[in-house]
Chain A
Amino acid sequence: MSGGVRVVRWTRLSAAFAVGTGGLLIALAFVPYAFGPGTTEKLTELFVLIILAAMWNALAGYGGLVSVGQQAFIGIGAYAVIVLTDHGLNGYLAVALAALFAGLVSLPTSLLVFRLRGGQFAIGMWVVAEVFRLLVTNDSGLGGGTGRSLSALNVYAPADRQAYTYWVALAAMALLIIAGFVLLRSRLGASLQAIRDDERAAQSLGVPVMRAKRILFAFAAVGCGAAGAITMVNTLSVTPDSIFGVQWTAYMIFMVLLGGLGTFEGPVLGALVLFGIQQEFSDSASWYLVGLGAVAIAVTLVLPRGLWGALVDRFGIRLVPVGYTLRGLLAHTAGQPEPERPVPHMTTT
């Protein structure tokens, strides 16, 4: 029990990683100059997936909120772009506002759905998504069941439009991930961890449980709204069934579970894998969803920490410094307390 033990947040590895990522983002910014619109369109899709994975992971992995209805905000983001551009707003500005609007909608929504817990919250969010879908389907001004297409971006030449869309997507992804990182490192992150471990105890310690959850929920809504808005701008047309469909949740769950729930790096890994799969198997929609579902089941049961989580457990690598590290004792990353089990519960030690 000597002195000389330091608690640090950044390790050499994570600092190197941060610098490397910064460089990568800068390099990515130059892609439209080097590659054609086909590539930038695909990469935009990838960025959307990364955003969605990060958002779902923030909700479920850090906040313990499993939502099977985030497509509600994805759809809101997309349709908000349509409404805003219908009123003459610039398409890209509309993307930013649409994302914020989705965040706004999440506030009254949370008042309702936070009355539910666990699996009930999950389905409750699904109901909310269905409500939005039906409201939009019944609204002929929004195109009803057949949807709408976006013409506001026709002011730009197609190649330019694709590039602008790409840059907006890149910027959104970078912003959201950094914001998420800051949020989870902050007091909010610690509050969420406490809430996840034992909500009542956290509450009795003065942790503002509802507020913390609401902030996280709003943040995820903004992210999902941004993803929906960018998708709208990238594909230029949308139907309520496609943008409010539960397959978005299937993608998010797959990405996060495979990558590693509760890790920061995992969702990005999961998004890359899903993107790769989508490029390979884009034709047979149903079979590939069957595959996704089966993998999700398998990963939940066999590899609960996902690919990245398994790596962390094995090698102790943390690229993104959301936690704390003890220096000077044994190099042991803090976190992962042994779950307490009251006797005589069944344990298999």
Chain B
Amino acid sequence: MSLLEVSDLDVRHGLLQAVRGVSFELDEGETLALVGANGAGKSTLLSAIAGAHRPNGGTIRLDGRPITNLPAHRRVGIGIALVPEGRRLFQSLTVEENLLVAGRPGYWTLERVLEAFPLLPPRRGHRAATLSGGERQATAIARALMSNPRLLLLDEVSLGLAPAAIEDVYRSLARVTDAGTTVLLVEQDLTRALGFARRVMCMLEGRIVLEGDPAALAREQITEAYFGLARTGAPSR
């Protein structure tokens, strides 16, 4: 049985249909990269899986158990953690407090997490508002890890980060996947995404238009799916 099962998911964002009939499965230990243009529905999909956004149709299952309407804070308890777009750290809390507030028992303790993200220990007593972009992303991912998730969701990993910071983040992420955590990430940088993940999914206008092993897919296929070039005629409104 797969860890995560999404069936026919429909999510509206205001008046806009952001996710249309999305279905896919994720096995334990897999890494899946979600790519697509802005507005394709990737963030909304992740939000729905994390419980921050209630779907209008379809189901989400974790370990076979339906969690479609489970509130977000309960999903953390069963092993789903989201690193939201924009990091969203608690500004008035220190780095260490940001980590502690998310803590749940498990392999990832405060010390182990600080070890996995070498950027953080020197800043652990500093308020989150004073961090640089790379440090913020590290804190955000570390915070999600503190809840010892089985499924780690990352929305826009490298957005707004300097190249060196992105290197650091992916190095730390490698340790996370090595430890066996299932990762589903949204990544703007296509090369990064394809290099990191075993599986890639491309979304366009709320639907999944391409799915597969990055090694097996040709670059043109992905680009076409990304921009929706493969379809004949004008895209429907």
Q: Do chains A and B touch in the complex (CB under 8 A)?
A: yes
Give the interface of A toward B (CB within 8 A).
338, 340-349
Q: In chain B, residues 1-29, which have Cβ atoms closer than 8 Å to a Cβ of chain A?
A: 11-15
Interface status of B130 (Cβ within 8 A of chain A): no
Assembly CA distance A348 to B12 (angstroms)? 10
Chain A residues within 8 Å of B13, by CB: 349
Identify the closest chain B residue to A345 (Cβ). Answer: B52
C-alpha gap A347/B44 in the complex (Å):
11
Q: Which of B14, B56, B84, B155 has the most CB of A within 10 A?
A: B14
- 24 pairs from A and B in contact (CB 8 Å cutoff): A338-B14, A340-B14, A341-B14, A342-B86, A343-B44, A343-B47, A343-B52, A343-B53, A343-B84, A343-B85, A343-B155, A344-B53, A344-B72, A344-B82, A344-B85, A346-B52, A346-B72, A347-B53, A347-B54, A349-B11, A349-B12, A349-B53, A349-B54, A349-B56
| B30-89, CB < 8 A from A | 43-44, 47, 50, 52-54, 56, 72, 82, 84-86, 88
User: In terms of DSSP, what is the predominant structure of the interface of chain A?
Assistant: loop
| Complex alpha-carbon distance, A349 and B16, angstroms | 11
Binding site for A on B (CB under 8 A): 11-15, 43-44, 47, 50, 52-54, 56, 72, 82, 84-86, 88, 155
Specify the chain A residue showing the minimal Cβ separation from B56.
Answer: A349
Q: Residues of B contacting A341 with CB < 8 Å?
A: 14
Select the residue from A343, A346, A347, A348 with max chain B CB neighbours within 10 A. A343
Per a CB cutoff under 8 Å, which of B12, B43, B54, B56 touches A343? B43
Contacts of B12 in A (CB 8 A): 349
Q: Number of residue pairs across A and B with beta carbons under 8 Å? A: 36
What is the CA–CA distance of A342 and B53 in the complex, to the nearest angstrom? Answer: 11
**Minimum C-beta distance from A330 to chain B (A):** 14
Query: Chain B contacts of A347 at CB under 8 A?
Result: 52-54
Docked complex Cα distance between A348 and B53 (Å): 7
A342 to B44, CA, bound (A): 10
Query: Which of B15, B50, B56 contacts A344, CB < 8 Å?
Result: B50
Least CB distance, B44 to chain A, in whole angstroms:
7
Chain A nearest CB: distance from B118 CB in Å?
Answer: 28
CB distance from A325 to the nearest CB of B (A): 20
A346 proximity list for chain B (CB < 8 A) = 52, 72
Is the beta-carbon distance between A344 and B54 smaller than 8 angstroms? no
Apart from the given pairs A348-B54, A349-B53, A349-B54, 14 other A-B contacts in the complex at a CB distance below 8 Å: A338-B15, A341-B14, A343-B52, A343-B53, A343-B84, A343-B85, A343-B155, A344-B52, A344-B72, A344-B82, A344-B88, A345-B52, A347-B54, A349-B14
- Roughly how many angstroms separate A347 CA and B16 CA in the complex, as a whole number? 14
Nearest CB in chain A: distance from B218 CB, A: 32
Who on chain A is nearest to B11 by CB?
Answer: A349
B155: chain A residues at CB < 8 Å are: 343
Rounded to whole Å, the gap between the CB of B11 and the closest CB of chain A is 8
Shortest Cβ distance from A306 into chain B, in angstroms?
A: 24
With a cutoff of 8 Å between Cβ atoms, the chain B residues found around residue A349 in the complex are 11-14, 53-54, 56
CA gap between A349 and B82 in the complex, in Å = 20
Least distance between B128 CB and chain A CB atoms (Å)? 17
What separation, in Å, do the CA atoms of A342 and B87 have in the docked complex? 12
For B52, the chain A residues whose CB sits under 8 A away are 343-347
* Interfacial chain B residues near A345, Cβ < 8 Å: 52
CA–CA, A341 to B52, complex, Å? 11
Closest 5 pairs between A and B when the two form their complex, measured CB to CB: A344-B52, A338-B14, A344-B47, A344-B84, A349-B12
The complex places the Cα of A349 from the Cα of B44 at a distance, in Å, of 12
In the docked arrangement, what's the CA distance between A345 and B51, Å? 10
How many angstroms between the C-alpha atoms of A344 and B186 in the bound complex?
15
B15 contact set on A, CB distance < 8 A:
338
- Closest-by-CB residue of B relative to A347 is B53
**A340 — which chain B residues lie within 8 A by C-beta?**
14
Interfacial chain A residues near B50, Cβ < 8 Å: 344
State how many angstroms separate the Cβ of B46 from the closest Cβ of chain A: 8
